[in-house]
Structure 1
Amino acid sequence: MSRIFVVDDDHNIRQLISEYLKKDGHEVLDFASGDGLVDKVREEDPDCLILDIMMPGINGLQLLTLIRSFSEMPIVMVSARGEEMDRILGLELGCNDFLGKPFHPRELVGRVKAMIRLVEAHKNARPEALQPSIRIGNLSISPEYRKAVVDHGPELSLTFREFELLLHFARNPNRPYSREQLIRQVWDYDFLGDERVVDELVKRLRKKIQERGVGFSIDTVWGYGYKAAADPR
């Protein structure tokens, strides 16, 4: 039985989501706000989190950032605002999927089940050895410590998803990837949303590496997607 946390300040929505999840065989704990949520996640390590963006006090995006600093559990964000930037920012900060209100609870349950199955498959797979730091251009990346450092400089300040994209490109230099492939590789999930989230993520990562003089570039492959290559030195 999977344990799922549902966080939403709307009692009716919280109750509806919880009822559908319980009917599907999940154990559900619901919260009307984010107060104390981070500590509760640390204590109980749920299998999935459903998180509303707009809440009084600490909001969903702030909670997402805090939780992603120590956990990679599946997170679905929901929002009544329906703004594209909410979706882009949520996916960039590390949520696995995004649903705009109103949505059908069965769709949410289906997406939750798919993500939990994927996580279980990874847990049952043969564990990989710790990977050493990766070097590309003048940048050193540590997958274990999730750090990216330019030679003789401070650590790059990257969001959860920016780091994942950077690491993927560093591991696969010069290989072109379509937006759909990047979603599958970087999100590790068959995201059903807009592929433009990839363009926004690449744009922000490009800006950060250019500002810091990182020795490789993310190039556009016109009509296809993107690739990364070390700059000649």
Structure 2
Amino acid sequence: MSRILVIDDDQNIRQLISEYLKKDGHEVQELGNGDGLVERIRRDPPDCLILDIVMPGVNGLQLLTSIRSFSELPIIMVSARGEQLDRIMGLELGCNDFLGKPFHPRELVGRVRSMMRLVEYYQNPRAEATVPNIKAGNLLISEQYRKVQVEDGPELALTFREFELLLHFAKNPNRPYSREQVIQQVWDYDFLGDTRVVDELVKRLRKKILNSAAGFSIETVWGYGYKATVNLS
């Protein structure tokens, strides 16, 4: 279980993030501002810090600068301003990841999960190195590093949700899934939107797979949903 510290002056956002992180198995603590944060981290650092930029008093970038003077603690920054300069400054000052508001909490949970996998690898690289890649046609999928590469070829640039969709179908080739089942498996939460979002996601992923000349495809099962097929030739 990872210990996550969430700092955001918006109580509703803090509670929403905390709910999703707790559901994912993390221990979560919340703070409404950065008062005393640096001393707290010196005394009892969490496994990961989620830090808002815009807060009363000391802002997130100032706190990031102070923390980086003594710690390599994984830090994910969030900002409602959505300015490119915020992202650039955050990354230059040493944050590990950055999300602009609004974002879905599941995306943040996924990024925390990936961050913790990387931390675990660097703490115990030999154990992690024994975990094989998933092979789908001539695609090599690293679940630990969230990377997809064509054998002896380029790496595919996938979004968070495209990777989740590809990973799901790669693990379950030839099995048909309805759109509702895809949402349940890939989104992993009660989705209240239009199931046609699955069609758009599949369309984008298909294009990237086709451009990579991978021996793997996601086919339409008419009147039902989708399934993955692997070309072994």
Using the size of structure 1 for normalisation, the TM-score is 0.55
CA contact (8 A) 1:4 1:49 kept: no
CA contact (8 A) 1:216 1:229 kept: yes
Residue equivalent to 1:155: 155
CA displacement at 1:56 relative to structure 2: 7.1
d(CA) in 1 for partners of 2:14, 2:186:
32
Residue equivalent to 1:226: 226
Letter of the 1:159 counterpart: T
Residue equivalent to 2:106: 96
What is the total number of aligned residue pairs between the two structures?
174
Spell out the pairing of 1:29-108 with structure 2 (5 A cutoff). 29=33, 30-32=52-54, 35=61, 52=80, 54-55=82-83, 57-58=85-86, 67=97, 78-79=101-102, 96=106
Spell out the pairing of 1:83-232 with structure 2 (5 A cutoff). 96=106, 131-231=131-231
* Structural RMSD (CA): 4.4
CA 182–156 in structure 1, closer or farther in 2 if over 3 Å, else same: same
CA displacement at 1:97 relative to structure 2: 6.6
Residue aligned with 2:227, SS: strand
| Long gaps (5+) in structure 1 | 7-13, 69-74, 80-89, 99-114, 120-128
Percent identity between the aligned chains?
Answer: 49
d(CA) in 2 for partners of 1:202, 1:173:
15
Question: Residues 133-161 of structure 1, C-alpha deviation per residue, up to 9 Å, x if partnerless?
Answer: 22221222222232222122122222222
d(CA) in 2 for partners of 1:96, 1:19:
14
Letter of the 1:174 counterpart: N
CA 162–4 in structure 1, closer or farther in 2 if over 3 Å, else same: same
Letter of the 2:153 counterpart: G
| Long gaps (5+) in structure 2 | 20-27, 34-51, 114-127
